[in-house]
Amino acid sequence: MKNATAFDGLQLVNFGDAVDGFTEMSIRDVKSARGFEISSCVAIDDLQSADRLHLIGDSGCGYHFSLSSVLDLTLTNAYNMALSLSTLQINNSLLVESSTYPVIGDTDPLSVYQNTIQLGAIASVGSGATITSNENAHVALGRLTSVGESISLRNNTNCTCNFDQISTIGKNLEMIDNVGTTLPLLPNLERAENIHLRGLINTTAGPNIFPALTYVPGTVTVEAWNDDFNCSKLVSQWHDRLINNLICNGTDNGTTISTPSETNNASATPSQSSNNGLSQGAWAGIGVGVAVIILGFVVALVWVVLHFRKRLNQLAGKEEKLVPIQYYSEQDPAEPNIRNLQEVHGSSVVHEKPGDQIYEMLVPPTELPANLGFRPRKY
């Protein structure tokens, strides 16, 4: 490997006592490697780029890199690893795991330095940063300003971490279940999709744990293990629509604070407010609901009009079939009583025969005999 300048994949592991802090291999001319896994003392001072770099400690080795960028960086058991990095950009992921340091008394002025995982040269992480299963360690990330996806700090014991410069998290910030660990302050954090804190909240700055926050479109969940954590500032930020949804179990969590919607829950959600901080999904649901109601009203109105018109047509058909009945209020004129007419002197009255029927005689008329002589009457 003396004259090698690049490797596709290189593993230098399990050399035992043959290689230690005093006897080390040297591949100083290597400029790039696609995959690099090292658990022994190797001088790789000239390495400038790598896709995957995995450093496994507990060998008392020191690594001095001139790396400017790496795709994935993994540190496993960084105890006894002296790591020196120049300004480094991690394009994909950072993983710091299983680093167990001995417990050093607080009176030792070098205790913090001796237990520090030196990652202060990392400026950005393109995907996610995960710090898990470490003990008695201080993770120095004081220059980290942005993470493209998520930060996960979980299952660490008696650890500290420095996130002072982080301002943007593309997706989620998760700090949960870290026993004996006070969660770090985030004085410059401006934006994250969701935030979930469960553990000992740092109260040295009071209730304002996110002083630079501009917007969290998802949910901020704070499950404080310490009884003295105050939720009032988070409630105020939710009230000002900097936080869309808020769940906080500390004191002053909204149960005694008047809000526009008279919120009386520790879980302050937009459904309990008067349109404060409604998410885009909620507005979309409201829009769909209004559209459905309007459509239903229009359909009902059209049905009523058509039904009413059909009913009118049916009634009109029935009226044409009925015989009209006419009612008169005037009485029929009475027939003149001619029987009571009296004769006026010098005139005569023609009396109409009572009754208006013609009766047939019971005995038919007979003719006179033809030979009956007619004798004139003498006067």
| Domain-located, residue 13 | no
Given a contact cutoff of 8 angstroms between Cβ atoms, the answer to whether 252 and 227 are in contact is no
Q: How confident is the model at residue 267 (pLDDT cuts 50, 70, 90)?
A: very low
Token couple for 156: 């660490």
How many other β-carbons are positioned within 10 Å of the β-carbon of residue 237? 21
| Domain-located, residue 27 | no
Q: Which residue has the higher pLDDT, 210 or 82?
A: 210
pLDDT recorded at residue 196: 98
Given a contact cutoff of 8 angstroms between Cβ atoms, the answer to whether 211 and 234 are in contact is no
Question: What are the tens digits of pLDDT across the range 315-348?
Answer: 776 655 544 545 444 555 555 555 555 555 555 5
Number of structural domains (the chain) is: 1
Question: What are the tens digits of pLDDT across the range 74-113?
Answer: 999 988 787 878 788 999 999 999 999 988 766 565 555 6
Q: 268: domain range? A: 202-292
pLDDT recorded at residue 167: 97
| Domain-located, residue 104 | no
Question: What are the tens digits of pLDDT across the range 139-198?
Answer: 999 999 999 999 999 999 999 999 999 999 999 999 999 999 999 999 999 999 999 999
| Domain-located, residue 280 | yes
| Domain-located, residue 40 | no
pLDDT recorded at residue 16: 47
What is the share, in percent, of the chain residues with pLDDT greater than 90? 40
Nearest Cα to 51, choosing from 68, 69, 65, 29? 69
Q: Which residue has the higher pLDDT, 274 or 6?
A: 6
CA distances from 319 to 307, 312, 314 (A): 19, 11, 9
| Domain-located, residue 368 | no
Whole-number average pLDDT of the chain: 78
Please give the Cα distance from 236 to 230 (Å, whole number). 12
Question: What are the tens digits of pLDDT across the range 242-252?
Answer: 999 999 998 88
| Domain-located, residue 283 | yes
